Structures are given as C-alpha cells and as structure tokens.
Amino acid sequence: MPVRYKLKEFLFETIIRASGLASIIAVGLIFFFLLKEGTLLFQTQTLGDFLLGKKWYPISEPPGFGILPLILGSLLVTLGAAIISIPLGIACAVYIAEVAPPRIKEILKSGVELLAAIPSVVLGFIGIVTVVPWIKSTFDVPTGLTAFAGSFILAFMAMPTVVSIAEDALHSVPKIYKEGAYALGATQWQTIYRVVLPAAASGIVAAVMLGIGRVVGETMAVMMVTGNSASMPKGIFYPVRTLTATVAAEMGETVQGSDHYFSLFAIGIVLFVITFAVNMTADVFIHRRRK
Amino acid sequence: MSSPVIQTEGLSLFYGDFQALRNVNFTVMEKRITAIIGPSGCGKSTLLRVFNRMNDLVEGVQVSGKVLLDGQDIYAPETDLLALRKKVGMVFQRPNPFPISVYENILFGLRIHHLADKRRGELDRIVEESLKSVLLWDDLKDRLANIATNLSLERQQKLCVARLLVMRPEVLLMDEPCSALDPMATARVEELMQELKKNYTIVIVTHNMQQAARVSDDTGYMYLGELVEFGPTQKIFTTPRDKRTEEYITGRAG
Ligand SMILES: Nc1ncnc2c1ncn2[C@@H]1O[C@H](COP(=O)(O)OP(=O)(O)OP(=O)(O)O)[C@@H](O)[C@H]1O
Ligand SMILES: [Mg+2]
C-alpha cells in the first residue's frame, strides 16, 4: 500500500479514536464533578438522612435535606406516566406495525415523530391550560396541579420513544413466523399476540425502559404542572415535587458552597444512578434481541 | 386406485396485472405424494399457496376457476378459511418454528383452534405422539422446554411438520422443504415423507428433479404459469409427452 494511503488511514483512525475518547472523558469529568460536589454534603449529613429523610427544608433553620418526598414524587409521576404510556404505546406500535393500511401507517408514524418534536416547555404550557383545569373539575380536587397532571403530560413525552422503538421491534419480527401462524389457521389477532408480540418482547421491554428513562430525567414540563410541593406525597391527586424539578427550581438561588448547594448535586447523583440503571436495563434487552 | 383430494378446474391467478397461473387443471390423489417441478418463477409456490389460500394475504390477488377440496370449492364465499388451513397444512422453505418452546410449538395449532383445553397429561401425550410421528421423539424428549429456534435446521423442519400433525390435517403442502438442509438431512426428511404418506396426502414443490423422482408418485411440470404436463412420476421422467417437459428433464432448459 502506498505511503500516502497509509498516512491517510492513520490520520482517520487517530481522529476517530480521539473523538471516541473525548466523549468518554466528557462523561467521566461530568460524573467526577457531580461526585466531588455532591459528596461534600455528607460532611454534615448522613446518607441515610439524605435518602430517607422526610423533610426537605433546605433553607430553614435548622435545615432538612431529606429527599424521600422528592424520590417518591418522581416515582409517583413516573409510575403514572408508565401506566398510561406503556399500554397505549404498545397498542399504537402494534397498530402501526401490523394492522394499519400503508397510508395511515405513514401518517401515524409522522404524527408520532411530530409529538417527539414538541418542546417540553410547550407541552407543559398546554398542560397548564388544558389538563390541569380538566383534572380540577373532573376529579373535584382543590388544585389540578398534581402528580397525575405530571404523569399525563409525561406519558405524552414517553409515547414517541415507546412507540417508535416498539414498532421497530415488531417490524423486525421475521415474516416467516407470521406466515407460519397464518398457515396454521391463526387469525390476525392470534398471530399478533401469540407470535409477533412474544418474538418482539425484548425489543418492547427496551422501548418501555427507554421511555421511562426519558420520563425520569424530564424537568420543565413536570415543574410546570405538578404543583411543586416538597412535602411527602399523599396520592396522585395531590401536588408533588420531583427530583429534577427541585434541582431546576433551587439551583439559581443557592449560595455556592453551602449545604443546600451540595445537596442539589447529591440529587444529581441520585438521578444519574437511576437513569443509568434504567438505560442499562434497556441495553441488556436490546442486546438480547439482537442475539 | 385412490380418489382425488384436490382438483383445480381452469385455475388462473393474477398478481395485479401479472398472470402467474394460466388455466391450470391439477389433481392431487389421496395418500400419494404429488410433486410440482419447473424452472424458477414458473408459479410452483403460487399454485401450492392456492390450496390453503395463503395467497389471500397478498394485496391485489385475483383467482378465477375452481379449486375443489373433497369436492367443495374452497374459494366459495361460505368457506371457513381458518378451518381450511387447519385441514391443509403447510411446510415452508425456511424452517419457521416459533421462538417459543418445542412443547408450545407443537400445541400452537390446538391452542389457536381452542382444542387444547385438555388435561396436562393428555397434552403431553399429544406432544409425544406427534414428535414420534416425525421421528424426533428420542432426540427431543428431554428438551421439550428448549426454544425451538435453537434446534438444528433438520429438527426445526421436522418440528414444523409435527406442529401440523396435531391438527389432524388431510393434506400437507411442502414448499421446497429440504432446500435449507444438507444431503443427509434431506434423505431423512424424504424418509419421513414416505412414512407420512400412509396417513396424509402430500404435495411437494421442489427444484430438485432427483428428489421429485425419488419421493413422488405423481408429478406436474410447470412452465410460465402453465401446467405443461401432469401424470405418474414414472411416466413423466421416462416418456414425457411434451417437448418442453423433456427439455427440462434432460437438463436442456430451465
Ligand atoms: N406477491 C407477489 N406479487 C407479485 N408477483 C409475484 C408475487 N409472488 C410471486 N410473484 C410472481 O409470480 C411468479 C411465480 O412466482 P412463484 O413464487 O410461484 O414461482 P416459483 O415457481 O415458486 O419460483 P421459485 O422456484 O423461485 O420458488 C413469478 O414471476 C413471481 O415474480
Ligand atoms: Mg417457490
């Protein structure tokens, strides 16, 4: 091989390797920074008080840095969003992949993509003017700014992820499985739930996990519609506060180097761990599917 | 002499504007093996898929003429499509067991036709019997819970036959069932076909003329959508009437 080509190849390889390395280093630095600042909180607080404490009073005297209400708030909102978006998303994916005629399929697919393109602040805004008053009047509660409103809006944000990845998984089920089922005298519905869905199962689980990952980390829309009450959540029809919303709302007004400041970083670590775990689970299922 | 199970009269089939079958008059006799041979694209698979109406799944298919199964026109509006496919089973070119356990693969047909609401012992017996009839029981009796798609291709293909047998079909359609298998496996599947012939009527599409000559009792030669010649395999391979058949068999065409 001429030297000229060798040099070119070497250059390309170096550039690609360097950019790969850069992204890993960036992630490492972010995590390191998060860890460094976050752990400073534990000079004055114990981990147990932080994770399981029920009082989040960061600027009172004496302060409380218990994030249990925030964890539960996130959990409640996420769970609600999952309960709404999983069945809806899978049903929608099945319809697009297996049932819809080609034209409707195209329309639906672009619709789902469009949904993904709506900025989260816009969804939050729409939530405030439609979902929140609707919840207040329908369920007869003092305020519509509730965990349920958050779940409802987040379900919409998770849908595009769930639908497109699940649809992809369904679509890649080999055609010969379906033919086999039809040739045995199965109906379309039997073919879908006995053959296509099980064959796509790991891809669908991955879709769900990635949808949930999206929901856990979401901030803006949730902050706008959940009422932001940092007390222990009493139910889905009460205001709550999520981990993400807490960081976003309070970061601007803390004193750098204070316990409050460190505690927000510690919340960041908790979020990082949760999202990482969810995405890893999704990854495991995606790889299982490829096998 | 046995009686005809399938008969087509003036059968034509269009995929949109393209005519894939031209005025085909074809007969399948009971408990015999009927082979369909011919060059690629001549309509062998299409004809086979008429018999269990798998062509219905293709957009824009038009069928005319008559297709009789036990004297009943299967394209008549009152035909129960699902019952037809239970009676006329199909084995595909690429083995396609479902990615579930061997056990559940076999019971799949019974479950979808709601015939599996029996006691566990009874189901176990059905699974054993069907695996025995495809000569797989000794190989698989300890692996019933394994995922079927991990088996060897030969076993997968035999399992696909077993999966049909639990429904007590009349006819087995096989579309190049051995083309994914090595010669040894092919020989064993051919042996299985001879075994199955005692109880079932078999129609096989094959690219392999030797295979047709070895396994079949009757043979039809197709060319460009036409059934050129049809008769006892012996006769087709030794004294074909049509020049086109002769050319194909002696290797000068196709
Ligand atoms: N779904 C379809 N839509 C349109 N044309 C089709 C379709 N399926 C088959 N054809 C055409 O019909 C003709 C017959 O196809 P068929 O699959 O029956 O041939 P074959 O004899 O089985 O060929 P092979 O030996 O390659 O399997 C071919 O020209 C093919 O291109
Ligand atoms: Mg074919």
CATH number assigned to the domain comprising residue B212: 3.40.50.300
Kindly state whether residue B254 falls inside one of the protein's structural domains.
no
Kindly state whether residue B142 falls inside one of the protein's structural domains.
yes
Residue of B59, B66, B56, B54 whose CA lies nearest to B23: B66
Sequence-ordered list of residues with C-beta below 8 angstroms from that of A185, at least 6 positions apart, any chain:
B81, B82, B83, B84, B85, B86, B109, B112, B113, B167
Tokens of B107: 């019971």
Kindly state whether residue B231 falls inside one of the protein's structural domains.
yes
Predicted structure pTM score = 0.85
What atom of ligand 1 comes closest to residue B38's alpha carbon? 21
The alpha-carbon gap from B89 to the nearest alpha carbon of chain A, in Å, equals 6
Q: Is A188 near chain B, with CB under 8 Å?
A: no
Query: Residue A171: how many CB atoms within 10 A of its CB?
Result: 14
Kindly state whether residue B236 falls inside one of the protein's structural domains.
yes
pLDDT the model gives residue B251: 79
Kindly state whether residue B11 falls inside one of the protein's structural domains.
yes
Q: Could you say which residues of chain B have pLDDT below 50?
A: 254
pLDDT digits (tens, 9 = 90+) for A217-229: 889 999 999 998 8
Tokens of A145: 């700014």
Kindly state whether residue B118 falls inside one of the protein's structural domains.
yes
Query: Residue B119: how many CB atoms within 10 A of its CB?
Result: 8
B157-to-A139, A246, B116, B197, B227 alpha-carbon distances in Å:
58, 59, 23, 17, 28
Tokens of B15: 């995929």
Q: Is A11 near chain B, with CB under 8 Å?
A: no
Contacts of A177 in chain B (CB under 8 A): 96, 98-99
Kindly state whether residue B104 falls inside one of the protein's structural domains.
yes
pLDDT the model gives residue A3: 75
The alpha-carbon gap from B238 to the nearest alpha carbon of chain A, in Å, equals 35
The residue behind tokens 């919303």 is A245
pLDDT the model gives residue B7: 95
Q: Find the mean pLDDT for residues A43-70.
A: 91
A99-to-A159, A161, A178, A192 alpha-carbon distances in Å:
19, 20, 13, 10
Residue of B13, B17, B18 best suited for mutating to test ligand 1, as the one with most atoms within 8 Å of CB: B18
pLDDT the model gives residue A289: 63
A290 pLDDT more than 70: no
The residue behind tokens 């509730």 is A146
pLDDT the model gives residue A285: 86
Residue of A243, A229, A191 whose CA lies nearest to A71: A243
Using the beta-carbon criterion (under 8 Å), do B99 and A199 form an inter-chain contact?
A: yes
Based on the number of CB atoms within 10 Å of its own CB, is B214 exposed (0-12), middle (13-18) or buried (19 or more)?
middle
pLDDT digits (tens, 9 = 90+) for A87-132: 999 999 999 999 999 999 999 999 999 999 999 999 999 999 999 9
A110-to-A99, A160, A263, B78, B244 alpha-carbon distances in Å:
17, 10, 42, 40, 53
Q: In this structure, are strands A56-57 and B72-73 parallel, antiparallel, or unpaired?
A: unpaired
Using the beta-carbon criterion (under 8 Å), do A185 and B92 form an inter-chain contact?
A: no
| CA separation for the pair A144, A138 (Å, rounded) | 9
pLDDT the model gives residue A6: 85
| CA separation for the pair B254, B252 (Å, rounded) | 7
* Residue A240 DSSP one-character state: B
Q: Find the mean pLDDT for residues A26-32.
A: 92
| CA separation for the pair B212, B228 (Å, rounded) | 16
Residue of A286, A275, A251 whose CA lies nearest to A78: A275
Contacts of A187 in chain B (CB under 8 A): 82, 112
* Residue A73 DSSP one-character state: H
B201-to-A36, A48, A222, B97, B160 alpha-carbon distances in Å:
76, 74, 65, 22, 16
Residue of A172, A289, A199, A177 whose CA lies nearest to B156: A177
Q: pLDDT band at A134, cuts 50/70/90? A: very high
Nearest to A185 among B85, B92, B160 (CB): B85
Identify which has the larger pLDDT, A291 or A71.
Answer: A71
| CA separation for the pair A46, A42 (Å, rounded) | 6
**Range(s) of the domain holding residue B148:** 4-249
pLDDT the model gives residue B254: 45
Average of per-residue pLDDT values in chain A? 92
Number of separate domains in chain B: 1
Q: Find the mean pLDDT for residues A184-193.
A: 95
Q: In this structure, are strands B18-24 and B72-73 parallel, antiparallel, or unpaired?
A: unpaired
Nearest to B92 among A179, A187, A190 (CB): A179
Residue of A220, A226, A258 whose CA lies nearest to A241: A226
pLDDT digits (tens, 9 = 90+) for A263-284: 999 999 999 999 999 989 988 8
A202 pLDDT more than 80: yes
**With a 6 A CB cut-off, is B57 part of the ligand 1 pocket?**
no
**With a 6 A CB cut-off, is B206 part of the ligand 1 pocket?**
no
**CA nearest ligand 1 atom 31, residue:** B41
Tokens of B157: 């293909």
Q: pLDDT band at A7, cuts 50/70/90? A: confident
